[in-house]
Amino acid sequence: MSASVGTGTGPMVGAHAHTGRHYRRFGVLERWLHAAMMFAFIGCSLSGLPLLFPYAAWGQAVAGVMGGFEGAAFVHRASAVLMGVVFFVHIFQFLWKGLASKSILTVLWGPESMVPQPKDAVDLYQHMKFFLGMGPRPKFDRYTYWEKFDYMAVFWGMFIIGGSGLILWFFEELSGILPGWVFNVATLVHGHEALLAIGFIFTIHFFNGHLRAEKFPMDTVVFTGTISEHEFKEERPLEYERMQQTGQLKSLEAEAPSASKLMLAWVVGGAGLILGLLTIVLMIYSLLSH
C-alpha cells in the first residue's frame, strides 16, 4: 500500500506541495466551514463519549475538564448547534450556486458535483484492480469516490444522529406528543450511530485525508485552499485537463501559501488530528474493556 489510497505517485508528491505554481481549490467560506465542522465534530465526540461511558475513569476525568457531566452535556449541545449552523450554511451555499448557474443540475450532476455517479463505481473497481497490480490507476476528476462517500455520510449523520439528538434534547417538550418507545430508540440510535461516525472519521477519513504515504503527516490543502500544480496534475488529472481545455485554468492560479498560513494550517490541522486520534483511542479502549 505504499502507493496508498490516493492518486499520487508516492511520498515524493509532498515535496512539491508548497513550491512552484499553485491553483485555488477551496474558497474562504469552504475552508472556514470545514474547520468549524471539524471542531464541532470533535467537540461532540469528546463531550459525548463521557456521557456514553460515565463509569470509565477517563470518562469522568474528561467530563471533569468540562465542569462535570452537566458541563459535558452543555459542550455537546453547543458543538451540535455549531454543526447544525455549518450544515445549513452549506445547504444555502449549495442552493445559491445552483441559482447562480441558473440550473440546480450543475450541482447535482457532472464533474463538479459531490453526488455519487456511475463513474465513481467504475473508479472504485479500477482502483481495486490497481491495488492488486491488475491495471493502471484510474484518473480522477475534482472529487474522488471516497471523498463523495465521506460527504454523503455527513448528510446521513445530520439526519440520523442530529434528529435523534434533538429528540433527546427536547424530550420534556416532546414527551407529551411522542410515545415513550421513541425516546428509547433515539437513545440507542444516537449512541450507536455516533460511535460509528467517530470510528469512521478518525480512522478511514483521517487516513485518506492525511495519513496515507503521499500526504503524511497532513494534507494542508483544505486549510490553505490551494493545491500545487504537481499535485493537481497527479491527483486530479481529468479536472486539470478540463480546466486547460475550457480556458479556466488561468483564473484558478494562486500564490503559494505563505509560511504563516502554512503554520496556521499545521496548528489547526494538527490539533484536529491529535484530538481525533485521542478520541478513537479512548473509544476503542472503553469498548474493549467494557
Residue 77 has pLDDT above 90, yes or no: yes
Q: Which residue has the higher pLDDT, 97 or 134?
A: 134
Residue type, 85: V
Query: For the whole model, what pTM was predicted?
Result: 0.83
Q: Please report, to the nearest 10 degrees, the dihedral formed by the alpha carbons of residues 114, 119, 122, 123 taken in order.
A: -50
**How far, in Å, CA of 124 to CA of 42, rounded?**
29
Q: What is the CA radius of gyration of the chain?
A: 21
| Model confidence pLDDT, tens digit, residues 28-68 | 899 999 989 999 999 999 999 888 888 888 888 989 999 89
pLDDT at 10: 42
Query: Which residue has 455520510 as its cell numbers?
Result: 153
For residue 24, report the phi and psi dihedrals to the nearest 5 degrees: -75, 130
pLDDT at 81: 95
Strand locations in the chain (E):
22-24, 226-228, 253-254
At 20, the pLDDT band (50, 70, 90 cuts) reads confident
**How far, in Å, CA of 89 to CA of 83, rounded?**
10
The structural domains of the chain, ordered by start, are 11-289 (1.20.950.20)
**How far, in Å, CA of 282 to CA of 230, rounded?**
38
CB 225 within 8 A of CB 26: yes
